[in-house]
Structure 1
Amino acid sequence: MHRYRTYLTQAYQTNAFPVKVCQFGVYQNKLYRLAAYIFAPIRAFVCFIIWLSACSLPAMAQQSDEKISFSDYLIQLKQEARLQGISQATLDLAFPQIKLFKKARATDSLQTDKTHNLDTYLADTVPEWKVDTARVLFKEHEQQLNAIASQYSVQPRFLVALWGLVSDFGEASGDYPVLSVTASLAFGGEREAFFKKEFIAALSIMDKDHIGFQDLKSRWNGAMGQTQLMPTDYLAYGQDGDGDGKKDIWHNTQDAFASAAHLLQQLGWNGDDTWGRQVQVPATLDLAVAGLDKPQSLAQWQTLGIRKFDHTDLPSREEIKASLIMPDGVTGRKYLVYGNYRVLMHWQNTDYFGISVAHLSERIKYPPIN
């Protein structure tokens, strides 16, 4: 084949072919030039369209990503609230007062600082003044707390510890209109469905409990009152602790305590158990057994070499299931935590928060208050 191609090439160069054959290449070349001349404008036009489309895509994407205005968003919220049964009177009263809070943040005031470890976090979050204040207030409200404890089977020290940590004993319960906060957080988009639900719940509180817009206050994360309940929690668990016909978790400590105790009870609190304990862990322990989602009986943990912090045996209570947690990893503190600990994390789902509540509750308990 190669020899044949060489022969053809030589024949062509020496004009060995007839004229018609030689002219075929000329005709073919002219045809290519004609086609190029005809299709060049078409090709240029197609390229222009492709370029124009490429330039338009970012603008179109940006336009589709742009949010509606906050006022238009409120119109949508109002329609949804009406469909969910909120009265027209409440809608007419509330919506003209709702403002956009650009700095509203869906994070808790006890959010873990990455510069902390648990030791420094506890020192900052549960300082000695807070321990002293908690013990004084525990004694001051002892009669109320004991009545609530007997009704809801929640140990009073945990209620006072929560009270101190989430609102500084009611001094930092928040002064922002909860409807503006939850509407702004829903408008922010990251957890729109969650905060839209809280917004509707806050409207329901106005509607059903006749609490005015200016009295319905929260922190910048939407948590309300002295025990920092979200609006949905208030609707589900809010209690009239003193029997005056109101559920005032903002100004009435009995209502705040009773509401928090009811929430704990309904989420599975066991009044016969504590929260857990700090423990000693053998160096040979397989760390794969650690984790809040890996509970075992105390007897099983005992077999694995886990002991109380003072190196004595774990309690002989087979019914208790406990999880091994290490908030700061293998080099930090280790804890066996029980079901009550998981309930405490309803307020904030971090081990630092759970341990801080537990730590303050222990400081209230020991030494005993006379």
Structure 2
Amino acid sequence: MFRLSRRFAIALATTSSVLASPVLAQSDFASCLQDIKAEAMRQGVDGSVADRAFQGLTPDRKVVDLDSRQPEFSLTYAKYVGNSVSADRIARGQQRLAQNRSILDTLQGQYGVPPQYIMAFWGIETNYGGYMGDFLVVRSVATLACMTKRREFFSNETVQALRILSLNHMTSPQMRGSWAGAMGNMQFMPSTFMKWGVDYDRNGRIDLWHSLPDAFASASNFLRGIGWKPGLPAAEEVFLPQGFPLDQADTTIEKPVSAWAAMGVRKAGNAALPTVDAPSSILLPAGFRGPAFILYPNFKAVMNWNRSTLYALAVTILAQQIAGGPPVMQMPPADDEPLSRETVIDMQNRLARLTLYTDEIDGLLGPKTRSAVRLYQKRIGMPADGHPTPEFVRRLQQQR
């Protein structure tokens, strides 16, 4: 699961960093490394550190191959969350929480992040440390910097990896991670490591691979830094009243929690929503026939960790059940099917011709595509939930 979610995160997080410059040929790799070394030295890295890290370095063709692959299908809510929130992962998360309760409670006091969320991130990112990746991080990020179009983003990640080597008493072979450079129990990119890593055990180095205190404290520090605030969960399942305006179920629409309550929205199980005025949104990840969720401000912090809505939902649902809460009550529709990237591209093109979609034709089923879907659903009299069912796709394709 970690490999899929991390790949999805990198794809989304770096879309805006794609440059127009051509992909470098392998013969230019050494020259590219020298440019990175020069920037690293400007940021205080001794040149000898870069020389040792780059000595004999060649591009990793497997990394280039993995980067060039695009997911063929957009995952459904049921498939993504079903894979992420398994009974085994819940049970293991509860076991790990009990084993580390003392330090997790201490960290909650310092950073405000509940222990079940740290366990949920850990479980989804690396299956509780079971798979952290075995790619050489410096080689991976240097390959992505010099052999793909995302040079700016990954050049910086390579510089930050060199800074880690310089400041953290590590060697390049010790620094291993995913094919895209994510490292350790929590899968931090080098830049995240440098900004948010914590030497909690005070042994003189930040070790996200072998020191759980460092890993948990770094994750807590990161979440606090990207917006986590104590007081509310990230999201909760809700029941919508009959006649609820589906066009209001959109992450771009925020209302005070009290406003949703006044519209008849209640927690799943029929309990009242919290009596707070925090801004919140309603999400229907599988359309109006599936579960509904209210997204509190902390959901944005989870999204800042990984820009996938389904990832953020999976973290929230897993955290709730690790803490002993109930599973999601409303099942997703059994006929909900993934859409191929080709289908989404065709859908975006057709919606663009109808002047309903004005963003990039990228084959990704993001918020802007769903907003365009909702507009067309309204036009043709379908429930405007922004969820493109096979029936919606068929009717859109019949549009002339």
Question: After TM superposition, is the score higher than 0.5?
Answer: yes
Aligned partner of 1:263 in structure 2 is: 222
CA positional deviation for 1:113: 7.8
Matches within 5 A, 1:4-43: none
Aligned residue among 235, 248, 261 for 1:302: 261
Q: What is the match of residue 186 of structure 1?
A: 145
The alpha-carbon distance between structure 1 residues 333 and 75, as it changes in their structure 2 partners (threshold 3 A), is same
Q: Pick the aligned partner of 2:232 from 273, 283, 292.
A: 273
> Of 314, 319, 326, which aligns to 1:356?
314
Amino acid paired to 2:314: S
Instruction: Determine if the alignment matches structure 1 residue 143 to structure 2 residue 116.
Output: no
CA distance in 2, matches of 1:295, 1:123: 28
What's the CA shift string for 1:81-134, capped at 9, x where partnerless?
2333321121121111533122327999xx988364222322222211111111
**Cα distance in 2, alignment partners of residues 338 and 95 from structure 1:** 45
Letter in 2 for 1:187: C
Higher RCO, 1 vs 2 (CA within 8 Å, ≥6 residues apart)? 2
Contact 1:173/1:218 (8 A) holds in 2: yes
Say which of 293, 297, 316 aligns to 1:335. 293
Q: How does 1:149-228 map to 2 (within 5 A)?
A: 149-228=108-187
Show CA shifts across 1:39-80 (max 9, x none).
xxxxxxxxxxxxxxxxxxxxxxxxx95734223322332233
Query: After superposition, what is the alpha-carbon deviation per residue over 1:191-223, rounded to whole angstroms, capped at 9, x for unaligned?
Result: 221111111111111112222111111211211
CA deviation after TM superposition for structure 1 residue 313, in Å: 2.6
Contact preservation (8 Å) 1:131, 1:364: yes
Q: Whole-Å Cα distance in 2 between the matches of residues 229 and 304 of structure 1?
A: 41
Counterpart residue type for residue 207 of structure 2:
D
Q: Report the TM-score when normalising by structure 2.
A: 0.70
1:323 aligned to 2:249? no
What pairs up with 1:221-236 in 2 under 5 angstroms?
Answer: 221-236=180-195
8 Å contact kept, 1:205–1:211? yes
Q: Distance in 2 between the 1:106 and 1:203 partners? A: 24
Distance 1:203 1:282 in 2: 55
Asked if the contact 1:280/1:334 (under 8 Å) is kept, the reply is yes
CA distance in 2, matches of 1:340, 1:279: 17
Question: Per the alignment, do residues 287 and 264 of structure 1 end up closer, same or farther by CA in structure 2, a change over 3 Å counting?
Answer: same
Q: Which residue of 2 aligns with 1:311?
A: 270
Runs of 4+ in structure 1 deviating by more than 4 angstroms, as ranges, are 105-108
3-state SS, counterpart of residue 103 of structure 1: helix
Given the superposition, is the C-alpha separation of residues 106 and 262 from structure 1 closer, same or farther in structure 2, using an over 3 Å criterion? farther
Deviates further, 308-317 or 220-229: 308-317
Aligned partner of 1:3 in structure 2 is none
In the TM superposition, residue 316 of structure 1 has moved relative to its aligned partner by: 1.1
Is 1:67 paired with 2:24? yes
1:352: how far off? Answer: 1.1
Corresponding position: 1:346 with 2:290: no
1:152-206 Cα shifts (integer Å, max 9, x gaps):
1111110011111101111211111111111111224332211111111111111
Which amino acid is the alignment partner of residue 110 of structure 2?
Q
Confirm or deny that 1:244 pairs with 2:203: yes
Q: Give the % identical residues.
A: 28
Unaligned stretches of 5+ in structure 2? 1-20, 327-400
CA distance in 1, matches of 2:46, 2:202: 27
Going from structure 1 to structure 2, the CA distance change for 1:65 and 1:352 (only over 3 Å counts) comes to closer
**Compared CA separation, residues 333 and 114, structure 1 to 2 (3 A):** farther
User: Per the alignment, do residues 291 and 66 of structure 1 end up closer, same or farther by CA in structure 2, a change over 3 Å counting?
Assistant: closer
CA separation of 1:255 and 1:106: change in aligned 2, threshold 3 A? farther
Moved more, 69-78 or 145-154: 69-78
Q: Which amino acid aligns with 1:250?
A: W
The higher radius of gyration belongs to 1
